Amino acid sequence: MEPDLSNQVLIVGAGPTGLMMAAQLVRWGIQPRIIEANAGPTLQTRAIGVQARSMEIYREMGLENEVFARGVPAKYATIFTEHGRLGQLSMTDIGAGLSAYPYMFILPQDQNERVLGDDLMQHGLKVEWSTALKEIANTDGGVRVTLETPGGGETKEFRYVIGADGPRSTVRQALNIDFAGSTYEHKFFVADLSAEGELVDGSLNLFLSNKYFVLALFPLPGAKRFRLIGLLPDDLAHKEHINFEELQPKLREMVGERMRFEDVSWFSTYKVHHRVAAQFKKGQCFLVGDAAHIHSPIGGQGMNTGLQDAYNLAWKLALVLRGQAKEQLLETYHNERHPNATSLINTTDRAFNVLVSAHPLVGFVRNWLIPRIAPALLKNKWVQRKFFMTISQTGLNYRNRTLSTEQLGGQIKAGDRFPWFVENGLDVFQTMTGTRLALFALGDWSAQTAQLEMLRSPLLEVVKITDQHTFLKAGLVAGLYLVRPDGYIGLSTKDVAEIHEYLLQKICLTAS
């Protein structure tokens, strides 16, 4: 008899991270419970950029059409100074050859949540709205929680709890997990609106000036719709509540007749924090998304990093719940995602400091030097590649982590995302489902066909690629690459016998 895998996991929070976590578990045949303190889906757009790595995951989940129907790719980045337009860069194929999605896709957070929420419904799982976690404690074999529900309250034990409950995470606080870091003094405003004048529709428009902090307009779906972001002027920054009308005269002072703003559908102000939780796992509880790390929104990484946390944890948790792997595997979640969060916070901090610094030299570099050299630099293929890999999260890797065993020495190593390429018209990512491992046998393995076939199972797909030209171009070498369900290379080797050993020792698969 199949074990009952429903209600063993509680997901706290139905933001993008919690929804992705639930959607991934459902794909593995596990029905979690997912609760949300709010009464219904959010109406705030908040994050707007979906990076290529997240798009790849959406496609694997069969959600590509839904996502395309609701969003648009950013077409250009255009830089303006006080003297007018300085330069423009096409963004539509900046990552050509690196991903099927070589651009940044604009799909506001509320729409991401709709796509994921609808997907859950299709799989028969409903978010439990108006249901809040109140108390939580690790016990011997699980986690005891107290929930506040529309009908009153409930105390229950789960095997695992996922804290996807945002920056003020109840899970994190109740478990006494340190959230070290600080808050920048600057206050920003963000507005979704219609804009006309000296800007390019469908483009990221950056306005640089010594008179005011960078103004950025990101394209939103819809003609002339933009997300406007800027630093609040000092005389407004100290006020607790302000509205867009109070800001309008200041904006006019800054940009004069160059731009007109109207039809504001969302306005908010916020301070930027940078903090990372000391532990992403404590007992049987996990922290994912903003509950685990928060940083400046520069580069549009926040929501995407939460989606990747969920994607990293879900397959590990699923294998353990299904009895196919030992609990030990779960320790690798912190081992992989904590260093990633720490380095992301350091990078976004550095970029943020350049953006807000009042130092004249930094101001000169930001407002004069960078705008003049960036367009030329970004035409260089190597720079373009590095830039895309960083922003799109396709370059993120788990090299030298517990699960990564490198023995081939190619340019692409164990711990890297298996590279995207097309061989004989077949998109290599279409061979990966997200719910099994894949063994890529590159080159001539005809003498070991029987050994390779013996490895094939419902949990392991074997893919043979003989066209040397294609895989060498992608940075791979002839050999065996064992790819985890989340698309990262676990083992690279020349020895078929090592595959079995790796699965037992590293992935901790149970012998059966």
Interface with ligand FAD (CB under 6 A): 12-18, 35-38, 46-49, 109, 132-133, 164-166, 170, 190, 268, 270, 289-290, 297, 300-304, 306
Helix (H), strand (E), coil (C) string for 337-360: HHHHHHHHHHHHHHHHHHHHCCCH
In 3D, which of 299, 311, 280 has the Cα closest to residue 18?
311
User: How far is 49 from 67, CA to CA, in rounded Å?
Assistant: 12
Question: How near is the Cβ of 190 to ligand FAD at its closest, in Å?
Answer: 5
Closer by beta carbon to ligand FAD, 36 or else 406: 36
Q: How far is the CB of 501 from ligand FAD (least distance, A)?
A: 37
Q: With respect to ligand FAD, which residue has the nearer C-beta, 304 or 312?
A: 304
Place of tokens 């990093």: 305
Beta carbon of residue 385, minimum distance to ligand FAD (angstroms, whole number): 22
Q: How far is the CB of 300 from ligand FAD (least distance, A)?
A: 4
Q: What is the number of other CB atoms lying within 10 angstroms of the CB of residue 311?
A: 25
Radius of gyration of the chain (CA): 24
> What gap in Å lies between CA 257 and CA 89, rounded to an integer?
25
Strands 489-493 and 405-406: parallel
Task: Identify which of residues 115 and 412 has a Cβ nearer to ligand FAD in the complex.
Answer: 115
- Give Cα 372 distance to the centre of its chain: 31
Could you tell me if 164 and 251 are in contact, meaning their C-beta atoms sit under 8 angstroms apart? no
Minimum gap (Å) between residue 307 Cβ and ligand FAD: 8
Task: Name the DSSP letter for residue 368.
Answer: I
Per DSSP bridges, beta strands 76-81 and 203-207 are parallel
Q: Taking the CA atoms of 401, 407, 411 and 417 in sequence, report the sign of the dihedral they define.
A: negative
- DSSP string across 388-429: HHHHTSSS---TTSTT-EE-S--SS-TTSBPPP-EETTEEGG
State which residue, 44 or 433, has the beta carbon closest to ligand FAD.
44
State which residue, 310 or 329, has the beta carbon closest to ligand FAD.
Answer: 310
Minimum Å gap between C-beta 404 and ligand FAD is 26
Name residues whose C-beta falls within 8 Å of residue 305's C-beta, 6 or more positions apart in sequence: 289, 293, 340, 341, 344, 393
Compute the least distance from the CB of residue 369 to ligand FAD, in Å: 26
Smallest distance, Å, CB 302 to ligand FAD?
A: 3
In the bound complex, what is the minimum distance in angstroms from residue 306's beta carbon to ligand FAD?
Answer: 4
The residue to which tokens 């290379």 are assigned = 489
DSSP one-letter code for 128: B
Residue 93: CB minimum distance to ligand FAD, A: 22
CB of 161: closest distance to ligand FAD in angstroms? 11
d(CA 216, CA 344): 21
Handedness of CA 19, 349, 236, 366 (dihedral sign): negative
Q: 268 or 451, CB closer to ligand FAD?
A: 268
Contact 221, 70 (CB under 8 A): yes
Given its phi and psi angles, is residue 181 left (phi above 0), alpha (psi -120 to 50 degrees) or beta? left
Q: What span, in angstroms and rounded, lies between the C-alpha atoms of 396 and 386?
A: 11
Decide whether 393 or 405 has the Cβ nearer to ligand FAD. 393
Q: How far apart are CA 96 and CA 106, in angstroms?
A: 18
Shorter beta-carbon distance to ligand FAD: residue 68 or 270: 270
User: To 5 degrees, how large is the angle CA 334–CA 336–CA 342?
Assistant: 85
Instruction: Residue 455: count other Cβ atoms within 10 Å of its Cβ.
Output: 18
Our CB check for ligand FAD shows the closer of 45 and 492 to be: 45
Q: Which CB, 297 or 419, lies closer to ligand FAD?
A: 297
With respect to ligand FAD, which residue has the nearer C-beta, 132 or 422? 132
